[in-house]
Structure 1
Amino acid sequence: MSDDIETIAESLAFDLNDDDIADCRESADRLADIAAGVSDDSERTVERTGSLLEDEYGALLDGFETPRTRETGGPLADQRIVVKDNIAVEHLGLTCGSAGFEYVPGFDATVVERLLEAGGELLGKANMDAFAFGPTGEFSGRADVVNPIAADRVPGGSSSGSGVAVATGLADVALGTDTGGSVRIPAACCGVVGVKPTFGHVSTHGVVPFAPSLDTVGPLARSVETAADALSAISDERTADSFGQTSSPSESQAVAADSDETFTVGVVTEFLEECSETVTRGVRSLCGEVESASELELEEVSVDLGSIEDAYLLVGATEFAWYLRQRGLVRGNGSTYARRWSRALREFVDDDGFSDHVAKRVLPSATLDAETDGDSYVAGRLEAEAFGRRLEAAFDRVDVLLVPTLRTLPPERGDVSAHDRLFDVLGNTAPFNLTGNPAVTLPVDGADGLPISVQVVAPRHDDGVAIDCARVFEEIVAESASLEPPALPA
């Protein structure tokens, strides 16, 4: 035992004499006895009561025979809801979209509790890319997810089932998680609305992490209004922010009501320059319609993108590698502390359960992190902070930014891999995870029968401003004779 503690001391660069080592060993033994006596409700056996919800699009997984409800009234009354399968729902299997993993939680995630308290009808779980490693929606180990607008195009991920469930009418509201765009990307690919709230605005208790400093939970719906109702239901102004993006709730942090205010909208030149001609043309068509709207004023703005794409790879994948090394425990910021969960994940990892896609996404950053003793991760965070300062400078001139959600039309299946064309999908969404800004995506036009979507990005904690401005864009699109997003399935 003394050899073990000496090895640990050496790894921590502690230089102690033999007597000190012996004292520490004695203290550790005493703490071990205390830890063994701590009760853990997660240890109880939890019965899996759900059954597979089958649909032609592969959007749904485990669910209830009769929708689960708690309240008969509320802002989400009569709204059918599904949640992504990395969000805990008591008695339903939690697979994270992986073929070889399943855990049955004995509790609901905080966001699930709030949906039920708001009167929602919980149908069950939505499919996803395994362990949230999208971004195209092609990497579920449970079922192939099909884009209902165009089967030869990707549905977007990693919240693929959430986007498809809303687009097809299988659900009125779906929750997804967004670490680099995983709510906004499937919303854009499937032609629906998706909201990424300000980092820390929605509790992640009971949500399986990907990158804890980037992870958010947000709603998808067919309209901005319905998405706003869902966001209001799950929002938590009391949530502590552990990662330096200081939380200071304001009246606009919660979802604002309809506003008569005129918004100054900054069209970001650099983001448009990265987009295909087709997407750029769609955004410019939207801007042409906006010029006649009294509620919006357009202004071209410049924001140097720097190396923000590489910063996302250095931060996101590295944090997931840390999570794997700790076998499912994020010390100091655990989404939940449950021994059954930790054991289940440990067994899955030790049995080489991860797909090649996940491995290829994680390994380069994990290797660099080890080789540089963490300096590469720090570099990624510093680059994100610099980009955030440039965004703040832009917000000194405008109320919101207008950014295309995807750089291209939804890609054809098989065109995007772990290392090829990744940022065609992630490039315009991931930067705002690194900065923590809220962003609302909505469809504004179409081409070749496929949707073109934009993001309305607001300053941190101004979620209500993003929602209100998105409502105005939605009205402009609905009234326009020239803007034509593809129709959703009836």
Structure 2
Amino acid sequence: MSDEYDAFITEETIEGDDEGPLSGTTVAVKDNISTAGVRTTCGSEMLADYVPPYSATAVERLTDAGATVVGKTNMDEFGMGTTTETSAFGPTRNPADPERVPGGSSGGSAAAVAAGEADVALGSDTGGSVRCPAAFCGVVGIKPTYGLVSRYGLVAYANSLEQIGPIAGTVEEAAEALDVIAGPDPNDGTTRDPAEAVGADAGVPEGGYAAAADGDVDGLTVGVPTELFEGADERVVETVEAAIGDLEARGAETTEISLPSVEHAVQAYYVIATSEASSNLARFDGVRYGHRAEGDGNWNESFAETREAFGAEVKRRILLGTYALSAGYHDKYYAKAQDAREWVRQDFEDAFADVDVIASPTMPVLPFELGESLDDPLRMYLADANTTPVNLANLPAISVPAGEADGLPVGLQIVGPKFDEATVIRAASAVEDR
């Protein structure tokens, strides 16, 4: 298999069962999702030689369904980034334009699908890390409702925010993968049965999520939040507005809505995510697994030298999170971020009392040129403005290609109420069919 875009860290085959709904389908797996016997690096020198003894539930469900894993994909180190340039194994290039980034942190997964190196890929989405690369690479990415897909086997970055989600070339293919990986898992106490969570009528449709990709949006009400268009690149706005106009032409109704809390979502997200990261990444201490520095017997010095294996972006986020949780600053930053999170959740809940789905640009910008954002992390953080609110509110969302601007892909994000993946998929399939 050619890997001209550096989409993979490890190319190794895990055969699926002979029969199943995904028989003959090839799957690429983000390298922070455990695969038994195949190294899982998280894009970091810290885990460069780590080989997990078990597979993630999502991986097991895919291979049980007949899919064949073809490799582990490149990613921003520990999922921390928006460009797949913070990987210790070098950047991934965007198949749409090899001089540009594929998005992140699941950039390798999206690039593998866009380049035809895999039919489907798994990514993880903490603040947009499935949807961002899907938008930048011109493919489809689904961020499920928190609790729909098991996180067992996902190396933790920020537990309360992240979800495993599928990336594919079409909405139906992504939905078919979601049908396989979704559902309760005794190994993950946060998973829910949609029928029990929101009622059988709003749960998984008959025939599964793939059956919802029928393009029928007649009578669907689409909310268009002004805040998620403000400040976006004009070329992106024009392309997304054209796609929304096509939804109207197919019978959907649009209405302008306001989500005032989202203006604070990026700030709240980065306080919460980095706080959880500082706690989660404390386990990489050179004692239990992963990289271990050879010290002179002084444990504190060995511990410090071991953690030098982290890259600059990971160190930055650990320091930010540790600071936000420290004595004297917890209430000033972390507690306020949680208040903002609740405000975001309530804003979405109020909006869904009047609309069926919410549509916006997935990313407010076109794909960055390689190296463009590395010296300006704040610019990279602000690029997540449209995706982070969804994770704060634990909602389902999808990025579907809306068209191109100056020859570069533009994604349309469609967000739905909790566990209503079916309506999100239906709306996205109408955009795809236009």
TM-score normalized with structure 2 length: 0.88
Structure 1 match to 2:172: 225
Q: 1:439 aligns with which of 388, 397, 407?
A: 397
Deviation at 1:371, TM superposition (A): 4.1
Deviation at 1:373, TM superposition (A): 5.3
Q: Distance in 1 between matches of 2:419 and 2:392?
A: 15
Letter in 2 for 1:396: A
| Rg comparison, structure with higher value | 1
> Contact between 1:166 and 1:173, CA under 8 Å: does it hold in 2?
yes
Deviation at 1:311, TM superposition (A): 0.3
SS at match of 2:223: strand
SS at match of 1:104: coil
Deviation at 1:217, TM superposition (A): 0.1
Structure 1 match to 2:190: 241
1:91-130 to 2 correspondence within 5 Å? 91-101=37-47, 102-130=49-77
Q: 1:411 aligns with which of 368, 374, 378?
A: 368
SS at match of 1:180: coil
SS at match of 1:456: strand
Q: Distance in 2 between matches of 1:188 and 1:196?
A: 13
Structure 2 match to 1:206: 153
Structure 2 match to 1:28: none
Considering Cα pairs closer than 8 Å and 6+ residues apart, tell me whether 1 or 2 has the greater RCO.
2
SS at match of 2:229: helix
Deviation at 1:219, TM superposition (A): 0.4
Structure 2 match to 1:56: 4
**Which whole-Å deviations, capped at 9, do the CAs of 1:445-482 have from their partners, x for residues lacking one?**
11111011111100111111111111111112xxxxxx
Q: Distance in 1 between matches of 2:228 and 2:340?
A: 17
> Contact between 2:81 and 2:380, CA under 8 Å: does it hold in 1?
no
282-291 vs 142-151, greater mean Cα deviation: 282-291
Q: Distance in 1 between matches of 2:311 and 2:195?
A: 36
SS at match of 1:125: strand
Whether 1:166 aligns to 2:139 is: no
Distance 1:360 1:246, change over 3 A: farther
Q: 2:357 aligns with which of 394, 400, 408?
A: 400
**Among the aligned pairs, what percent are the same residue?**
38
> Contact between 1:93 and 1:103, CA under 8 Å: does it hold in 2?
yes
Whether 1:451 aligns to 2:398 is: no
Structure 2 match to 1:284: 241
Q: Distance in 1 between matches of 2:38 and 2:421?
A: 31
* Structure 1: runs of 5+ lacking an equivalent: 1-52, 329-340, 477-490
Letter in 2 for 1:415: E
Letter in 2 for 1:69: E
Structure 2 match to 1:466: 424
Distance 1:286 1:342, change over 3 A: farther
Distance 1:189 1:405, change over 3 A: same
**Which whole-Å deviations, capped at 9, do the CAs of 1:351-388 have from their partners, x for residues lacking one?**
11111122123322321321435322222111111111
> Contact between 1:136 and 1:425, CA under 8 Å: does it hold in 2?
no
Structure 1 match to 2:255: 299
Letter in 1 for 2:339: L
Letter in 1 for 2:123: G
Q: Distance in 1 between matches of 2:10 and 2:341?
A: 37
**Which whole-Å deviations, capped at 9, do the CAs of 1:278-316 have from their partners, x for residues lacking one?**
11111222233222212x221111111241111001100
1:19-34 to 2 correspondence within 5 Å? none
Whether 1:387 aligns to 2:334 is: no
Q: Distance in 2 between matches of 1:253 and 1:165?
A: 31
TM-score normalized with structure 1 length: 0.79
Distance 1:246 1:70, change over 3 A: closer
Q: 1:268 aligns with which of 225, 240, 247?
A: 225
Over the residues paired in the alignment, what is the CA RMSD in angstroms? Answer: 2.3
Distance 1:363 1:126, change over 3 A: same
SS at match of 1:441: strand
**Which whole-Å deviations, capped at 9, do the CAs of 1:161-210 have from their partners, x for residues lacking one?**
10100000000000001101111111111100000000111111111001
